[in-house]
Structure 1
Amino acid sequence: MSDVDVLNYALTLEHLENAFYREGLETYSDDELMDASVLSEYGEGIRMNVPDHIRTVGAHEAAHVSAIADTVEQLGGTPVEEAEYDFGYTNPSEFLGVARALENTGVSAYAGQAGTVADDAVFGAAVGIHAVEARHAAFLNELNVESPFPMAVDEPRTMDEVVEIASQFIVEQ
């Protein structure tokens, strides 16, 4: 598998995450996000920060899409296009739950492909994105009243495992 193939795989996931946050932020108001039942254990100070933090995560995902697409083109490849998705959430708490699942999947996906990248610059960029995805996952784990750091060592997922998870949200490619 070439670095372009690995990057397009990562781009597929980043498109999914980017679309997810874009859609969720269009669907739910700040008040709806702050009042999500999953956040009921948290005080107002934390809940008030959630919409801005979610917007920041969404902006990061958009930046990841741009960076990876640019790198694919620099390597002579054609970046994969964004698909159509159905994320299945019906309320703000479910939205935050799906966000947690997507971010944790992203972390394990980057870890699973780290050893397959040949170009040092591509590897460095992927590790930088992986670190940001891990921070997103920790934040969303915490919001969903789960440990932000559940294990000392995360288990990487194979490409097939990640594609199986991601494909449940892809309506049309």
Structure 2
Amino acid sequence: MLFASALLSIPLLASSVAGVPIKRQSSNSTATASNSTGSADLLVLKFANVLEQLETQFYTEALQKFQTSDFTAAGFADANVPIQQFTNIMNDESTHTTVLAAAIQSLGDQPISGCTFDFSSVLTSVSAMAPVARLVENVGVGAYLGAAHLLDDPVLLTAAGSILTVEARHQTILNVLNGGTAIPQAFDIPLDPQEVLAIAGSFISGCDTGITGLPPLTVTTTGSIQAGTSLSFSFDALSSISDTSTLSCQMLAGGMPASLSLPFDQCVVPTGLTGPVAIYVTNNTQPLVNNPRDKFLGNIVAGPTMAFIDNDPEDISSLAITGQVGNSVSNSTGSSSSDSSSTSADSSTSTATISPASASSVAAAAGATSTDSGSLSNNVGGVPPTANTETGTSPDGAISVSGWTTIPAPTSS
């Protein structure tokens, strides 16, 4: 198929982006693929192209604005290290954009155009930019993973997967450059397109993606965010809700069968969480399942927003960072305030909470996180310890996945 060939010809198009996609030939031993693609496939392809445009523009503007001295002032031991990595990532995203556009055009359609990407609120310093880059790549991974079930064509699915694996490599290096755990979890979080726009939609204007995003969610907690921190929120509909007792705070991490459901007014970061965590506000206590096919979005009032919890410092970060990168906190007014303390990345942990819905779109705070395991009494419990527990079925019938145990809901007598 033309679009499949365009995507699978990335190595060739990287050196000659004007190359014409070649139709894939099917052997007699295999079924011949359809010569037309479904509307859902095309919508996914065009949405992915917009996200790649966003990523390309973000890195292009950042590299144009910040000088070597800006990177060293932010705490990098050698400015060439982050500059080289950001440049490599920018080139990858630019190639993804070009190849996806070629695939869309080979189907007789055109990529979504006219999009404007405004990063002025987050490109204020390298310390503000670096954690947003981490967020952008995490959203990219979640977007490709979450769209997999929407694709009907297996060749397109494989081609999209080849981009997903590269986005995941970007995520790893950006975890390191932000003083975080390189590979914090055994699983990633899939995000539906509506969830992707809840996080990144405020950066995009001037074009119609064909998808309506969920309402954005902002964490308004100030100061250090760590295990035991009580989170507060802001979202557009909050002022019209007279009784918040009906709302719930949901936290979802990779490998969890479903989210942790907590009372909205008692949303406390539990011990044991690590890596990226998606946070939602819902209008009931029902946990959100961690697969995009079955996740019900109708009960989501706002979110997700993302938090990065780094409770296991790694020596690899100290090779690139001498100080804390991205050490700013988002407050309810949307401004960004800098934490006056500078902490060495090899001797502390940090938690970064980022919400592009706010004016600053950045919140990152340093603070030690306890590694003691805890527990929460809900439909999902058993907060994972620092190391993953064995996956399998326990005597009581519960299923453990990467340390998260699904506990059957109590039955009424």
Higher mean displacement: 114-123 or 19-28: 114-123
Distance 2:65 2:115 in 1: 19
AA of the residue aligned to 2:82:
V
Structure 2, unmatched stretches of 5+, are 1-38, 208-413
Match for residue 181 of structure 2 among 142, 147, 158:
147
Match for residue 57 of structure 2 among 6, 19, 25:
19
Match for residue 9 of structure 1 among 47, 72, 77:
47
* CA contact 1:111–1:157 (8 Å) conserved in 2: yes
AA of the residue aligned to 2:130:
L
Counterpart mapping for 1:82-101 below 5 A = 83-87=115-119, 88-89=121-122, 90-101=124-135
Question: Structure 1 residues 143 and 166 mapped into 2: Cα distance closer, same or farther (>3 Å)?
Answer: same
CA deviations on 1:57-82 (whole Å, 9 max, x unpaired) are 00001000001111111122211125
**Runs of 4 or more consecutive aligned structure 1 residues displaced over 6 Å after TM superposition:** none
CA deviations on 1:75-118 (whole Å, 9 max, x unpaired) are 22211125212222210111111100000000000000011112
- 1:70 is matched with 102
* CA contact 2:134–2:174 (8 Å) conserved in 1: yes
Structure 1, unmatched stretches of 5+, are none
Distance 2:125 2:196 in 1: 25
Offset at residue 33 of structure 1 (A): 2.5
Distance 2:195 2:157 in 1: 21
- 2:80 is matched with 48
Distance 2:73 2:152 in 1: 46
Offset at residue 133 of structure 1 (A): 0.4
- 2:278 is matched with none
AA of the residue aligned to 1:80:
I
Offset at residue 168 of structure 1 (A): 1.5
* Bigger strand share: 2
Distance 1:79 1:48 in 2: 34
Q: Secondary structure at the match of 2:168?
A: helix
Q: What TM-score, normalized to structure 2? A: 0.39
- 2:162 is matched with 128
* CA contact 2:114–2:206 (8 Å) conserved in 1: no
Over aligned residue pairs, what C-alpha RMSD do you find? 1.5
Aligned residues: 167
Distance 1:82 1:113 in 2: 23
Distance 1:117 1:68 in 2: 15
- 2:68 is matched with 30
- Report which of the two structures shows the higher radius of gyration computed on alpha carbons: 2
* CA contact 1:34–1:50 (8 Å) conserved in 2: no
CA deviations on 1:30-78 (whole Å, 9 max, x unpaired) are 33224323x3xxx44xx43211111110000100000111111112221
Distance 1:165 1:148 in 2: 22
Offset at residue 123 of structure 1 (A): 1.3
Q: Secondary structure at the match of 2:190?
A: coil
* CA contact 1:103–1:133 (8 Å) conserved in 2: yes
- 1:59 is matched with 91
- 2:149 is matched with 115
Distance 2:71 2:159 in 1: 32
Residue identity (%): 34
Offset at residue 16 of structure 1 (A): 0.5
Distance 2:56 2:114 in 1: 9
AA of the residue aligned to 1:77:
D
Q: Secondary structure at the match of 1:168?
A: helix
AA of the residue aligned to 1:96:
A
Distance 1:99 1:157 in 2: 17
Matched, 1:162 2:200: no
* CA contact 2:49–2:111 (8 Å) conserved in 1: yes
AA of the residue aligned to 2:63:
L
